[in-house]
Amino acid sequence: MLEKIEKIAKQVCNKNKVALYDIELKHASKGLIIIIYITKINDVTVEECQKVSRAISDILDEQDFGSSKYFLEVSSPGLERDLKLKKHYLGAIGEKVKLTFSNGKKNIKKIGVLKEVLPDVIKMDFVDATAEIPLVNIKKARVYFDYKKDLKDRK
């Protein structure tokens, strides 16, 4: 099912000049919740999200997906977006990232700047050191936005 939705979402995104960032499927008592995140340079607009949502919904309904109850949400991944795929890391180079990773003994939580993405590791600049972290050791990663400091720096 995910593959079918992903194929449809990619086609619709390409047609609307936005990129598919991620898809989440959540099962709820009221039916399937499909969350599609789209992105583009300079961020997506509400109108673009609506347009993509309508197009995907129309296709799903045409392909008999409507026989199952579903709810579709289309939005931007946001400022503090999760980094799950290698392409997500590539898009976050130069940004602050909050990581939870294992060093083999324990889980470590740190915030630093993502400097480079290599085939099997990422290079991070932390306040106290520069480190190479194997992708397989990363438990969770998300772009970090310090609202007080980062908003002040933008003024």
CA distance to 12, 28, 34, 58, 148, per residue, from 69 (Å) = 21, 10, 11, 14, 42
Name the residue with tokens 């990129």. Answer: 19
**Mean pLDDT value across residues 114-136:** 94
For position 7, what pLDDT does the model report? 94
For position 22, what pLDDT does the model report? 94
Statement: residue 20 has pLDDT above 60: yes
For position 154, what pLDDT does the model report? 54
For position 35, what pLDDT does the model report? 95
Helix 46-62 and helix 2-15, axial crossing angle in degrees, nearest 10:
130
**Mean pLDDT value across residues 88-105:** 92
Statement: residue 1 has pLDDT above 90: no
For position 15, what pLDDT does the model report? 96
- The three-state secondary structure class of 82 is strand
Q: Which fold has domain 86-154?
A: SH3 type barrels. (2.30.30)
CA distance to 38, 40, 67, 125, per residue, from 43 (Å) = 9, 5, 34, 26
Q: Mind listing the pLDDT tens digit for each residue in 52-71?
A: 999 999 998 888 665 578 89
For position 126, what pLDDT does the model report? 94
- Model confidence, pTM: 0.77
For position 105, what pLDDT does the model report? 86
Q: Which fold has domain 2-75?
A: GMP Synthetase; Chain A, domain 3 (3.30.300)
**Mean pLDDT value across residues 39-45:** 86
Statement: residue 31 has pLDDT above 90: no
**What residue ranges of the chain are covered by domains with CATH 2.30.30.100?**
86-154
Q: Which residue has the higher pLDDT, 29 or 151?
A: 29
Q: How many whole angstroms separate alpha carbon 144 and alpha carbon 56? A: 30
CB 18 within 8 A of CB 38: yes
Q: How many whole angstroms separate alpha carbon 17 and alpha carbon 131? A: 36
User: Are β-strands 70-75 and 31-39 bridged in parallel, bridged antiparallel, or unpaired?
Assistant: parallel
For position 103, what pLDDT does the model report? 86
- The three-state secondary structure class of 83 is coil
For position 131, what pLDDT does the model report? 93
